[in-house]
Each structure stands twice: as C-alpha cells, then as structure tokens.
A = this chain, B = another copy of it.
Amino acid sequence: NRNTVESLDYEVIENYAYREEQAQRGKLYVGYYVAVKWFLALLTGIGTGLAAVFINISVENFAGWKFALTFSIIQRSYFAGFVIYVLINLILVFSSVYIVTHFAPAAAGSGIPEIKGYLNGLDIHGILLFRTLIGKIFGSIGSVGGGLALGKEGPLVHTGACIASLLGQGGSSKYHLSLRWLQVFKSDRDRRDLVTCGCAAGVAAAFRAPVGGVLFALEEVTSWWRSQLMWRVFFTSAIVAVVVRTAMGWCKSGKCGHFGSGGFIIWDTSDGQEDYSFEELLPMAVIGVIGGLLGALFNQLTFHITYWRRNYLHKKGNRVKIIEACLISVITSAISFGLPLLRKCNPCPESDHDSGIECPRPPGMYGNYVNFYCGKDKEYNDLATIFFNTQDDAIRNLFSAKTIHEFSAQSLLTFLVMFYTLAVVTFGTAVPAGQFVPGIMIGSTYGRLVGMFVVNFYKKLNVEEGTYALLGAASFLGGSMRMTVSLCVIMVEITNNLKLLPLIMLVLLISKAVGDAFNEGFL
C-alpha cells in the first residue's frame, strides 16, 4: 500500500524547446488537437450523464424493491419485515464496503477534496484510476441503496472526474482498453482541464443543474481558470443536461422499473409559496443562524471522528472497516424501522382534492402520508413518512406544499437528532459517501420546524412549511460547506423555483457568516 503524494506541473514553460515544438507542428495538428479536446469534453459529458442515469436507476430500483417487499411482508408480520429490511440493507452496504476495501480503496468518501487537491496540483495515488471509477459507481449504489445516511452526489463528482481523466489518457492501459488516437494530451494541464469538465459534469448530472455544475467547478474545485475553459465546461454541462433529459424521457414509459417519478433529485417547489412578506424575514434569518451553528458543529464533529478513524480505527485493516460499515448499517436500519413503530399514528387531514395528495398514500407509490403500523385505514405515521423512506422521497415530502400540519414537531425533532447523529457517524466509513443529500435532509427538518412555528404564529394562509424546509436545507449546506454562488444556483435549479432566490441568498449569507465564526468550511 504505497501512499505517495506526487505533485503535478500545470505551468506551461514557454522555453525555446516548447516554442520550437509548437512551430514544428502544422496547423492541421493544432486543429486536430483542439477537435480532440472538444470531442473529449463531449465524451466526458455523455459518459458522466450515463453513469448518473445508471446509478440513479440502480439505486431507485434497489430501494423501491426493498420497500415494496418490506411493506408487503409487514401486512402479516412486522418482525419478519424488520428482519428482511435489515438484511437487504446489510447486504447492499456489505457489497459496497467490500468493493471499496478490497478493490478500490480510493473510492471511499466523497472524493471531492481529493479532486480539489488534484486540480490544484496534488496528485494523490489512485484517485483517478479505472478501478476507482468502477468502485465509486457500484459502491455508491450499495451504500445509498442500503439506506445509509449519505448521498450519491459527491461520488458522482468524483465519477465525472475519473471518466474525464481516463478519457484524457485514452483509456486504461492496465485493462487493455487504451485508444492510441486519443492520446494527444501531453501535459498535465490538458488533463486537468478535462478533469475540471468532469467535475462540472458530475454536479450537473447529480443535481440536474447544468449552470450549478459550471459554477461549482469555478467556485469550489479549481483555482486555475481561463475564460476558454469556462466555455468548454459549459459545453460539457449542457451535454449532460441533454443526455439526462433523454434518458428520463426514455424511462417515462416505464422501462426503468421503479425509476420514474422519484429518483434524480428534482424537488419541484414551483407550485409552492408565491410571495413572502417582510415579517417572514426574521424567522428566515433565524434559520440562517441555526444553519450556521449546526453546520459548524457538524464540521467540528466529523473532523474529530475522521481524525480518530484515520489514526486509530482504520489502521487496523479492512476487516475493521467492513465490520464498522455493517454495524452502522444495522443501527441505521433498526432506527429507521423501529422509531416509527413507537410513534402514534395521526388521523388523515380532511382530503383536499385540489392538492391531489392522497392520505394515506396508495400502496406501492411514493409520496406523503405513509401508512405504517397504523390501526385504522385513514391514518398515517408522520415519522415513517420521512424516516422509513428513501432520502429523496423524504426530502420531497419535507419540501411539499399544501401539506401544512403533516408533521408533528415531536417527530421532526426526533428525526433531526437521530439523523444528524447518523450522518456524523456514517461520514468517514469506507464507502462512497456524499454530504449534500444528508445535509439537505437535516436542514429541511429544522427548516420545516421553523415553518410550523411561522404558520402558527403569523396565521397567514400564504405561508408554506415547505418553503421553510427548503431554506433550512440551503442554510445547513451553507453552514457546513460554505459554498455561496454555486450552492445558490444549485438550490434554485433542483427546486425549479426562481422566486425564492433572494431568500436563499439571504439565508446563505447568514449561515456562512455564522459558520465562518467557528471553523473552516469543508467539502
């Protein structure tokens, strides 16, 4: 296990030899070179888009199948359902951690810090290998499908970077997949530019946010930036958007199993709150402060735990890593199944035909008002609605409009505490793991809590709890990751709602300022 860190050379030295070489090459060669650059950007976009579609389809199908099976079994026995649920999660998580530990150690974690390092000149061993790509893709399917408190978005950025890097090398020589005619990239700089495109493609694919992807690459990952590169990054993102849209269109006809309405996080809130009044700015500022505090705390806790893991626990070898991940999986399953059981069911609200939201939701569907361990027919379990669900669907429920009073404050608080703890503990295990979606989960929970108070306190009809959940999500991400412009654009793109942009900006400004008072942001 080598652990060397090389450094990359991004400065083009314009010495005599370089200029000589440039002059010798004909115009034709330069044209070919530029064409290959753009062609590789195109391929990076297509590849990352397809990888994202593949991951999403797999995760949605594993998770959908898991929940369908569990729900059908608990009609007869809750205990059997529990066992099955725990087992499926365990198997998925085990396969993920096994792949990572035995096959692609560099695939653990989100990969964004490593890529950031790479783009700034730090060549960490193995982060852009073919096996890392494979490990990342299958590992994140296992860890996300297995219901751990982590996301698949960070790994997708790494995936995009791997695809770009491999394309830049003309394939992987180890697996005899190399293409000679693509090997025109001579310098580290060309490879880096392509990896930047890959990062942007990863974000664009993960959130279906093409502009967000460009800005992410611009703001977060690279400090080497030229207008010409921006342009190619923009192109790559646009390609991703087209590829993903095509795949989604193809899946609409039901060819992709459980993948359809869910999956591919777009939490459309465009039919939510139309306007806001000035009195609402105070609770929104409060959300910003909470986000800053909880985000900074999150960074602090994960920093210490990661330190401990790296220097103590993970030094003991792969077996410990596997046991750790499996243990966390069982605990996560037990909590997400067990806690809703302890919760009393609520009666369904008067059905409102305008909103089109059924209560309880029909079996085998996604949506609000989950009937779980309820006595009567017209009841739902609010904790199960967010906890016993995929994270994407839980967030959709938390963001949803026209569902005022769906959640009780007690359930939201319980969920917040439990999920926050799980997210802290899970971060750093040897599986591919992103921080975005768990962050959105945490944030939208306390956001919705604040929203409930606002609804009760201001007694106005045009306030939606979902809006506050969305702002909460922005505030937590702002408070832990400290991104600004790119996060703002990503939030707008994933919620398909421009009206809330000034509010998101406000909340991000506050949460970042509060967070910065405590520690450095991390991603």
In chain A, residues 230-253, which have Cβ atoms closer than 8 Å to a Cβ of chain B?
230-231, 234-235, 237-238, 241-242, 245
- On chain B, the residues within 8 Å of A496 by CB distance are 498-499
Stretch in contact with the other chain, from A93-101, A123-131, A325-333, A481-489: A481-489
Verify if A439 is at the interface (C-beta below 8 Å from B). Answer: no
Given that A231-B484, A484-B231, A485-B215 are known contacts, is A493 also in contact with B498, CB under 8 Å in the complex? yes
- On chain B, the residues within 8 Å of A211 by CB distance are 485, 488-489, 492, 501
Stretch in contact with the other chain, from A58-66, A162-170, A337-345, A505-513: A505-513
Residue interface mask A154-181, B partner, CB < 8 A = 1: 0000000000000000000000000000
Verify if A324 is at the interface (C-beta below 8 Å from B). Answer: no
Verify if A210 is at the interface (C-beta below 8 Å from B). Answer: yes
Within 8 Å by CB of A502, from B214, B218, B245, B506, lies B245
Verify if A219 is at the interface (C-beta below 8 Å from B). Answer: yes
Tell whether, in the assembled complex, residue B509 and residue A235 are in contact, meaning their CB atoms are under 8 Å apart.
yes
Verify if A227 is at the interface (C-beta below 8 Å from B). Answer: yes
In chain A, residues 322-362, which have Cβ atoms closer than 8 Å to a Cβ of chain B?
none
Tell whether, in the assembled complex, residue B509 and residue A230 are in contact, meaning their CB atoms are under 8 Å apart.
no
Tell whether, in the assembled complex, residue A219 and residue B230 are in contact, meaning their CB atoms are under 8 Å apart.
yes
Tell whether, in the assembled complex, residue B502 and residue A242 are in contact, meaning their CB atoms are under 8 Å apart.
yes
Tell whether, in the assembled complex, residue B502 and residue A210 are in contact, meaning their CB atoms are under 8 Å apart.
yes
Given that A230-B485, A231-B512, A485-B234 are known contacts, is A505 also in contact with B210, CB under 8 Å in the complex? yes
Residue interface mask A176-219, B partner, CB < 8 A = 1: 00000000000000000000000000000000001100110011
A354 CB, min distance to chain B CBs, angstroms: 19
Tell whether, in the assembled complex, residue A509 and residue B238 are in contact, meaning their CB atoms are under 8 Å apart.
yes
- On chain B, the residues within 8 Å of A512 by CB distance are 231
Within 8 Å by CB of A238, from B235, B241, B242, B506, lies B506
A488 to B234, CA, bound (A): 10
- On chain B, the residues within 8 Å of A509 by CB distance are 234-235, 238
A497 CB, min distance to chain B CBs, angstroms: 8
Given that A498-B498, A502-B241 are known contacts, is A485 also in contact with B214, CB under 8 Å in the complex? yes
Tell whether, in the assembled complex, residue A498 and residue B492 are in contact, meaning their CB atoms are under 8 Å apart.
yes
- On chain B, the residues within 8 Å of A506 by CB distance are 238, 242
Given that A485-B215, A488-B211 are known contacts, is A234 also in contact with B493, CB under 8 Å in the complex? no
For A493, the closest partner residue in chain B by CB is: B498
- On chain B, the residues within 8 Å of A484 by CB distance are 230-231, 234
Given that A211-B485, A215-B485, A227-B219 are known contacts, is A234 also in contact with B505, CB under 8 Å in the complex? yes
A234 to B235, CA, bound (A): 25
A107 CB, min distance to chain B CBs, angstroms: 28
For A502, the closest partner residue in chain B by CB is: B241
Residue interface mask A298-337, B partner, CB < 8 A = 1: 0000000000000000000000000000000000000000
For A245, the closest partner residue in chain B by CB is: B502
- On chain B, the residues within 8 Å of A214 by CB distance are 485
For A278, the closest partner residue in chain B by CB is: B246
- On chain B, the residues within 8 Å of A241 by CB distance are 501-502, 505
Residue interface mask A133-161, B partner, CB < 8 A = 1: 00000000000000000000000000000
A230 to B509, CA, bound (A): 12
- On chain B, the residues within 8 Å of A245 by CB distance are 502
A235 to B510, CA, bound (A): 10
In chain A, residues 37-76, which have Cβ atoms closer than 8 Å to a Cβ of chain B?
none
Task: Offer 30 A-B interface pairs, CB within 8 angstroms, sorted by A.
Answer: A210-B501, A210-B502, A210-B505, A211-B485, A211-B488, A211-B492, A215-B215, A215-B485, A219-B230, A230-B484, A230-B485, A231-B484, A231-B512, A234-B484, A234-B488, A234-B505, A235-B509, A237-B505, A238-B502, A238-B506, A238-B509, A241-B501, A242-B502, A245-B502, A489-B489, A492-B498, A493-B498, A493-B501, A496-B499, A498-B498
Nearest 3 Cβ contacts at the A-B interface = A238-B505, A241-B502, A234-B484
* Known pairs A211-B489, A234-B509, A242-B506 / 12 extra A-B pairs, C-beta < 8 Å: A210-B501, A211-B485, A218-B218, A219-B227, A231-B484, A234-B484, A238-B506, A241-B501, A241-B502, A242-B502, A493-B501, A498-B498
